[in-house]
């Protein structure tokens, strides 16, 4: 067993998802795009709530919380935050109390993830029209209040993009290596989203430590290449501090960051990504959403059409299905 796999086996985590998530070919997309060997990694099928990438991170984050004896978990994000809903669902499974903090006004009619939060019975705070700094400051005030009350709370910080959270996608690399071996795939280019860099950092770090079995292309959905690269590098350093195993090279040598398909950034469709939501569902019967997944598919398609990669490619579907119902 590799040193990294040994470390991950010994690290605190709570089992939340039925691993491995499926890896399979997209035959109809291959026909339409005229490219053989298009695969999808179904991290929209992580088994808790509406599913999605954050469950991998929460296994390690909530593992630390449980180890520390925390029973009250705090998470924050915009109203349609996938992280918030998945944290609430994971806490329900683990028997933990969860409170969510949103910047935005509470709508009279709950849609998308807010409806799921209501079904889960989670307590939610709506702060009105404030920025993320004010939202995070409220979370810290709530954290201190509960500490004074002796509740030993735990905060899921920075959208789960922390060194510990990135261990989830670090662990996904050996999982995917095993699946590729079983399916006779010797090489593969993975197209994955880059928001605040948590998924990307775990993938890039895990791939590096495992000997670079994959080529990694991170498609930015928000920041330019320089800023996203900085976010990824910062989180990779946090992972290195936790594991004690160096990645060996700087981030820019371990992946390619594609920033040409982000449009106006977070949560804003491009004309191409708006179309992809419909065309992908009609080709494969799989739903994607606006913020992450549609832009990744647009970027991957462009790379294939321009011959910028060859051999099998894999689209990492990171979920977000719940938010789709409030996006139209």
Q: Is the predicted pLDDT of residue 282 greater than 90, yes or no? A: yes
How confident is the prediction for the chain on average, in pLDDT? 95
pLDDT at 268 over 80: no
DSSP of 247-268, one letter per residue? --S-HHHH-EEE-TT-TT-TT-
**Confidence band, pLDDT 50/70/90 cuts, at residue 159:** very high
Dihedral-angle region of residue 282 (phi above 0 means left; psi in -120 to 50 means alpha; beta otherwise): alpha
pLDDT of residue 328: 66
Report whether pLDDT(109) > 80. Answer: yes
pLDDT of residue 1: 78
Q: Would the pLDDT of 230 be above 70?
A: yes
Percentage of the chain beyond pLDDT 70 is 99
143-148 contact pairs (CB < 8 A, 24+):
143/74, 146/72, 146/74
Give the pTM: 0.96
Q: Pairing between strand 313-317 and 189-194? A: parallel
Average pLDDT over residues 216-232: 96
Task: Taking residues 244-251, report their average pLDDT.
Answer: 97
149 DSSP assignment: T
Task: Give me the pLDDT at residue 304, please.
Answer: 98
Rounded average pLDDT over 215-233: 97
What is the number of other CB atoms lying within 10 angstroms of the CB of residue 104? 17
User: Rounded mean pLDDT of 167-191?
Assistant: 98
- Indicate the angle between helix axes 163-182 and 198-209, nearest 10 degrees: 60
How much is the average pLDDT of 73-86? Answer: 95
- The DSSP H or E segment spanning 76 is strand 72-78
pLDDT (average), residues 115-128: 97
Q: Which two tokens stand for residue 68?
A: 């520390």
Which pLDDT band, with edges at 50, 70 and 90, does 264 fall under? confident
User: Looking at 2-6, 117-121, 299-303, 322-326, which range is the least confident one?
Assistant: 322-326
Map 196-251 to HEC letters: CCHHHHHHHHHHHHCCCCCEEEEEECCCCHHHHHHHHHHHHHHHHHHHCCCCCCCH
What is the predicted pLDDT for the residue at 77?
95
Name the residue with higher pLDDT: 45 or 320: 45
29: pLDDT strictly greater than 80? yes
Per-residue model confidence as pLDDT tens digits over 182-222: 999 999 999 999 999 999 999 999 999 999 999 999 999 99
In the chain, % of residues over pLDDT 90: 92
Distance CA 20, CA 176 (A): 8
């Amino acid at each position: 067993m590799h040193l990294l796999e040994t470390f991950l086996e010994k690290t605190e985590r709570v089992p939340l998802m039925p691993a491995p998530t499926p890896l399979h070919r997209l035959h109809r997309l291959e026909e339409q795009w005229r490219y053989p060997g298009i695969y999808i990694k179904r991290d929209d099928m992580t088994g808790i709530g509406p599913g999605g990438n954050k469950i991998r991170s929460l296994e390690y984050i909530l593992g630390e919380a449980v180890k520390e004896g925390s029973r009250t978990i705090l998470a924050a994000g915009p109203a349609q935050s996938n992280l918030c809903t998945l944290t609430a669902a994971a806490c329900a499974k683990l028997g933990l109390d969860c409170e969510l903090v949103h910047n935005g006004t509470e709508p009279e009619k709950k849609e998308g993830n807010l409806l799921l939060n209501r079904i889960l019975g989670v307590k939610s705070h709506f702060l009105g029209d404030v920025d993320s700094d004010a939202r995070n400051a409220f979370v810290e005030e709530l954290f201190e209040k509960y500490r004074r009350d002796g509740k030993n709370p735990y905060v899921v910080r920075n959208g789960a993009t922390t060194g510990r959270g990135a261990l989830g996608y670090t662990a996904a690399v050996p999982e995917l290596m095993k699946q590729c071996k079983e399916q006779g795939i010797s090489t593969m280019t993975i197209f994955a989203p880059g928001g605040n860099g948590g998924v990307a950092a775990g993938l890039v770090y895990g791939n590096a430590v495992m000997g670079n079995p994959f080529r990694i292309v991170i498609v930015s959905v928000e920041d330019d290449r320089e800023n996203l690269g900085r976010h990824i590098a910062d989180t990779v350093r946090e992972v290195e501090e936790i594991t004690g195993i160096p990645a060996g090279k700087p981030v820019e040598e371990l992946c390619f960051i594609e920033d040409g398909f982000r449009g106006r950034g977070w949560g804003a469709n491009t004309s191409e990504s708006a179309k992809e939501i419909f065309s992908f569902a009609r080709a494969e019967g799989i739903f994607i959403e606006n913020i992450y997944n549609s832009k990744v598919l647009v970027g991957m398609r462009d790379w294939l059409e321009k011959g910028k990669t060859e051999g099998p490619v894999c689209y990492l579907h990171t979920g977000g299905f719940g938010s789709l119902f409030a996006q139209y």
